[in-house]
Structures are given as structure tokens and as C-alpha cells.
């Protein structure tokens, strides 16, 4: 709450004071990985931002909003240089995007220095929102799905697990909170395996996981790497080993899920959004997204980008966002009781009780992620 008040205040003060605002156009810097390993994140968020503006217009306050999209290719130094240029040369009133934690962390001091609001739409390590009072996040934070998965494991009689995470901020958050949850539930994590963020080879760690023979393998890899993990998982026969595969929703993201093959059936994941969420709000969002982007299906990155734009417009208009019925923790919890996976012919998808969480939620157990099963349906 505190953070959001600051960001709204920051936007408002900029809107009234900065010389750039005297101009007719309000520029927003959107820094995303449009190329490289994380490009699916960039493409999803960019598409969602464009959809939001097509639906809501580009003059929320009467002045035109101009999005300056910059490709950082997932490289922190590049992102920092681009942010500097956007702030100093282009005089943007806010910066948004940030596909990876190291990028958000590299740019946060610039936001503080320049007093420019920074809307984090993807990066999901818990510490990011403490890196600058000008940061607000509309995406998840990894302890949330990790703790939800540990609870599911405990509730389903899983006493031993191995963790496999990408070796950087969000992975370590996921590992920490999953392990804590397992221990709190009376179980144990017998091995903690990590893979590098850049160009990971999952084969050796999957072999070690198979050799350890836990009841479950819990995984987190950033959005975009799930397909490679799923492929290696199947190639090493882990889908037939009796080891239960559980993960954060980043692994089975909607952008890649249909290409992951049968090995992902019955995988249980926790996440804050699923394209299969059956609310009317989400059905309309998915349908509009597909009309605008015929070859794409929105994933959790898209919805965080869309929410980020809603936050920006609301701040510029000096009012709180009109939240949809699925994205308040209280309503989300209520909604979760009647949101069940229903079979439909011919398609494989993650049937998450996917729930958008409120941007103010930080830390686990605040209503967002629920454990769900991937089924053929």
C-alpha cells in the first residue's frame, strides 16, 4: 500500500512539475528483453501493453501517452544504459517492464536518483520492491508460489523432495520458501540443485534428482526455460520414474505449455495466473489478446504488463485502479472455492486456479497462488 501511494504521488508530482510534462506527449520507457533467451517475456508484455492501450486509448489524462520500447536483450548493463537514456534524454515520466531480477536491481538506483516511478512487470525476487521507494510491482514474488507448492506437497503426503532452481534471486527465493514449507509441514528437502541462469543444461541435475529418488521434484526456472526443462525431464524418463514433478507456474507458462509434450501431464504447479482461468474477465482478456496476436496465448507476464498499464493510467488519473473481481486477495480466495478445472476436448493446458494478485501483496500466503494439476483436457 505504502509503495503504491509513493508511486502515485511520484507520478502526480511529475505530472504537475516536470518540464517534460508541459509537452503534449507523456513518454513512458518500456525496457524489455525482445531478443535473446528471455524474449518470450518481452513479447508477451509488449503485446499486453499494446492491447491495454488499444482498449483504453492513449490519452488517459487528455495528453497523449507515447511508449518508448527498448530491447535490453536480457542484459543488465544494456538495460541500465537504456534506462539512463530514457530518463535523461527522452525525459520519460515513468519506466516499466524489467524481464529479469538483475535488470530491475541495476535500474532501481537510477529510479531513486531521478525520482522516476518504476513499474516492475516481470522480475519477481522479493527484494526488488525494497531496492527503491519508486518501485512498484504488478507481477508475482517467488515465495508465494513456492510456499503454496510446499503446502500442497505436505497436504498430499509428500515427505521428501529435491529442489531444482535457476541459480539467482527468484530461484533462491523459491528454494528457500519451498524448503521452509516442507519442513514446516513435517517433510524434508534432501538435495538442493541449481542451474545457471544463462544457457542451462538440465540433464546432469535431473540425473542427480533421479538418483536421489525423492517423492517429488520441485522446480523453478524463469519463464521461457520451461520447455527445455520439460524436454530433458521426458528424455531422462523422469515422467515414468514415479517421482512427482511439481513446480512454480513459471515452468508451465501458457506461452510454451502446448509445445511441452505429454511429460507435463499431471505436473502440479502454483502460479498467480492461467489463461484457462474461467472468469468472465479473463475470458475477455484472453479472447482480445488472441485477436490482436493470433499466434500467441497470454501468459502471466502478459497479465502483469496489462495490470502495470492499468496502474499507470490510474495513477495519472489520480484514482485507484478499478480492480476486477479476480484480483483482490479477498475475492480471489472466495473465487478459488468455485474455480475448478473442467475437461474440454483436445487441448492440454495448465488448469491453474490462476488468480491475479493485488500489486501490494508481497510474501507468501496472501491469497494468490494455488496448486493445480496439468491435465489433458
Give least dist CB 221 to ligand PHB, A.
Answer: 8
Spatial CA neighbour of 119 closest among 306, 325, 342: 306
Q: Which of residues 126-155 bind ligand PHB (CB under 6 A)?
A: none
Give least dist CB 359 to ligand PHB, A.
Answer: 16
Residue closer to ligand PHB by CB (options 125, 179) is: 125
Specify the stretch interacting with ligand PHB by CB under 6 A; choose among 11-19, 120-128, 145-153, 280-288: 120-128
Residue closer to ligand PHB by CB (options 109, 237) is: 109
The b/e string for 347-365 (b: 16+ C-beta within 10 A; e otherwise) is: ebbbbbbbbbbbbebbebe
Among positions 26, 30, 87, 122, the unique one binding ligand PHB when judged by CB under 6 A = 122
Specify the stretch interacting with ligand PHB by CB under 6 A; choose among 123-131, 179-187, 231-239, 275-283: 123-131
Give least dist CB 224 to ligand PHB, A.
Answer: 7
Residue closer to ligand PHB by CB (options 220, 313) is: 220
Q: Which of residues 199-258 bind ligand PHB (CB under 6 A)?
A: 222-223, 250
Residue closer to ligand PHB by CB (options 125, 370) is: 125
Among positions 29, 33, 170, 364, the unique one binding ligand PHB when judged by CB under 6 A = 170
Phi, psi of 65 (to 5 degrees): -90, 130
Instruction: Name the grid cell of 44.
Output: 508477451
Give least dist CB 337 to ligand PHB, A.
Answer: 27
Query: In sequence order, which residues have a C-beta less than 8 Å from that of residue 274 and are 6 or more positions away?
Result: 249, 254, 300, 349, 350, 351, 352, 353, 354, 372
- Sheet containing strand 118-120, strands side by side: 64-71, 25-32, 94-97, 118-120, 135-137
Residues present in the chain in total: 377
CB 131 within 8 A of CB 104: yes
- Sheet containing strand 268-271, strands side by side: 188-195, 160-166, 216-220, 244-248, 268-271, 370-376, 348-350
Among positions 100, 136, 257, 316, the unique one binding ligand PHB when judged by CB under 6 A = 100
End-to-end CA distance of the chain: 39
Q: Can residue 165 be called a binding residue for ligand PHB (CB under 6 A)?
A: no
Specify the stretch interacting with ligand PHB by CB under 6 A; choose among 14-22, 118-126, 150-158, 311-319: 118-126
Give least dist CB 170 to ligand PHB, A.
Answer: 4
Reduced DSSP (H G I as helix, E B as strand, rest coil) percent helix, strand, coil of the chain, to 5: 45, 15, 40
- Residues in contact with ligand PHB by CB under 6 A are 100-101, 122-125, 169-170, 222-223, 250
Amino acid at each position: 500500500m505504502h509503495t503504491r501511494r509513493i508511486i502515485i504521488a511520484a507520478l502526480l508530482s511529475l505530472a504537475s512539475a516536470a518540464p517534460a510534462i508541459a509537452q503534449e506527449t507523456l513518454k513512458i520507457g518500456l525496457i524489455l528483453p525482445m531478443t535473446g533467451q528471455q524474449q518470450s517475456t518481452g513479447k508477451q508484455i509488449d503485446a499486453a501493453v499494446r492491447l491495454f492501450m488499444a482498449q483504453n486509448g492513449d490519452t488517459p489524462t487528455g495528453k497523449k501517452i507515447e511508449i518508448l520500447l527498448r530491447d535490453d536483450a536480457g542484459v543488465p548493463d544494456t538495460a541500465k544504459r537504456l534506462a539512463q537514456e530514457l530518463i535523461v534524454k527522452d525525459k520519460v515520466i515513468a519506466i516499466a517492464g524489467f524481464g529479469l531480477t538483475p535488470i530491475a536491481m541495476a535500474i532501481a538506483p537510477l529510479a531513486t536518483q531521478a525520482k522516476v516511478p518504476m513499474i516492475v512487470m516481470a522480475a519477481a525476487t522479493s527484494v526488488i520492491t525494497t531496492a527503491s521507494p519508486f518501485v512498484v510491482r504488478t507481477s508475482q514474488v517467488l515465495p508465494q508460489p513456492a510456499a503454496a507448492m510446499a503446502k500442497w506437497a505436505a497436504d498430499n503426503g509428500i515427505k521428501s523432495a529435491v529442489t531444482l532452481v535457476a541459480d539467482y534471486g527468484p530461484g533462491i527465493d523459491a528454494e528457500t520458501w519451498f524448503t521452509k514449507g516442507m519442513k514446516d509441514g513435517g517433510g524434508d528437502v534432501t538435495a538442493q540443485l541449481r542451474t545457471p541462469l544463462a544457457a542451462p543444461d538440465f540433464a546432469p541435475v535431473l540425473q542427480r534428482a533421479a538418483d536421489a529418488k525423492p517423492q517429488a521434484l520441485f522446480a523453478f526456472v524463469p519463464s521461457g526455460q520451461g520447455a527445455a526443462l520439460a524436454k530433458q525431464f521426458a528424455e531422462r524418463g523422469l515422467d515414468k520414474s514415479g517421482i512427482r514433478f511439481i513446480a512454480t507456474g513459471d515452468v508451465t507458462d501458457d506461452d510454451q505449455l502446448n509445445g511441452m509434450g505429454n511429460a507435463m501431464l499431471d505436473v502440479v504447479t502454483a502460479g498467480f495466473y492461467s489463461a484457462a482461468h474461467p472468469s468472465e474477465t479473463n475470458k475477455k482478456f484472453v479472447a482480445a489478446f488472441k485477436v490482436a496476436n493470433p499466434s500467441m496465448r497470454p501468459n502471466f507476464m502478459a497479465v502483469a504488463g496489462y495490470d502495470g498499464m492499468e496502474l499507470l493510467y490510474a495513477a495519472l488519473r489520480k484514482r485507484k485502479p478499478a480492480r476486477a473481481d479476480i484480483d483482490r486477495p479477498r475475492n480471489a480466495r472466495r473465487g478459488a472455492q468455485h474455480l475448478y478445472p473442467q475437461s474440454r476436448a483436445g487441448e492440454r493446458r495448465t488448469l491453474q486456479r490462476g488468480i491475479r494478485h493485488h500489486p501490494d501483496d508481497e510474501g507468501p500466503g496472501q491469497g494468490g497462488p494455488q496448486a493445480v494439476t496439468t491435465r489433458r483436457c
